[in-house]
């Protein structure tokens, strides 16, 4: 867990936080620094087990997939706010099929679906895992968003395989945007939290 703990150490640097793996005074990733300076969209990201977090900036948008990068080049890819891949965290999520989950999440509808993840194991091999997920609507929740409070609907996704179980939570605003979430990223990273930075 050393890499994860270091990655998500709190580094609120002069108006733009960044992720770092290089100790107390890292040289910022040029892409990260440039994107932050240009005002690229940002997410506040944290590791639930570490109680720490920082900001990442959006680097690319391709076919609806948004990739956010850290100060040292670690990255997280989301599809409409749902985590589908990570790089540079260790035990990375190489790809995901979350289409069935998204149908219920964005329709704010309960039901049971399947989701699939591909991870890199300790021997650098791809390992595909399948989960059965129960999606439930937990109702209205107000979420602090900058200086205002945003009305959202909380959706829970409780997933299990024969050997694993995790709970994802999504707060959707009236337009269907996920303004904050907590999502499982794999055995190594555990649960990550996400919040849009206004």
pLDDT at 50: 77
pTM over 0.75: yes
Domains and CATH numbers, the chain: 2-196 (2.40.360.10)
pLDDT, tens digit only, all 198 positions of the chain: 434 433 333 333 323 333 332 333 445 578 888 998 899 999 999 988 777 777 999 999 999 999 999 887 889 999 999 999 999 888 899 999 999 999 999 999 999 999 999 998 878 889 999 999 999 999 999 999 889 999 999 999 999 999 999 999 999 999 999 999 999 999 888 999 999 999
Cα separation, 158 vs 176, in Å, equals 20
Phi, psi of 77 (to 5 degrees): -115, 130
Quote the CA–CA distance of 90 and 87 in Å, as a whole number.
7
Q: Interior CA angle at 120 toward 67 and 106, to 5°?
A: 45
Longest CA span, the chain: 48
């Amino acid at each position: 867990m050393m890499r994860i703990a270091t990655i998500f150490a709190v580094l609120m640097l002069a108006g733009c936080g960044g992720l770092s793996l290089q100790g107390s005074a890292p040289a910022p990733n040029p892409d990260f620094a440039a994107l932050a300076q240009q005002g690229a969209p940002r997410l506040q990201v944290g590791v639930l087990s570490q109680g720490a977090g920082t900001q990442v900036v959006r680097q690319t948008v391709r076919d609806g997939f948004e990739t956010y990068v850290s100060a040292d080049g670690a990255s997280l890819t989301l599809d409409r706010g749902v985590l589908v891949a990570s790089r540079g965290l260790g035990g990375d999520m190489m790809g995901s099929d979350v289409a069935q989950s998204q149908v219920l999440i964005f329709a704010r509808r309960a039901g049971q679906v399947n989701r699939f993840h591909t991870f890199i194991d300790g021997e650098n091999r791809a390992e595909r895992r399948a989960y059965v997920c129960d999606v439930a609507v937990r109702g209205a929740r107000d979420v602090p968003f900058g200086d205002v409070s945003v009305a959202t609907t909380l959706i829970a996704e409780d997933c299990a395989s024969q050997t694993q179980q995790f709970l994802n939570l999504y707060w959707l605003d009236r337009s269907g945007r996920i303004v904050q979430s907590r999502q499982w990223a794999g055995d190594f990273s555990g649960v990550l939290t996400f919040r849009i930075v206004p």
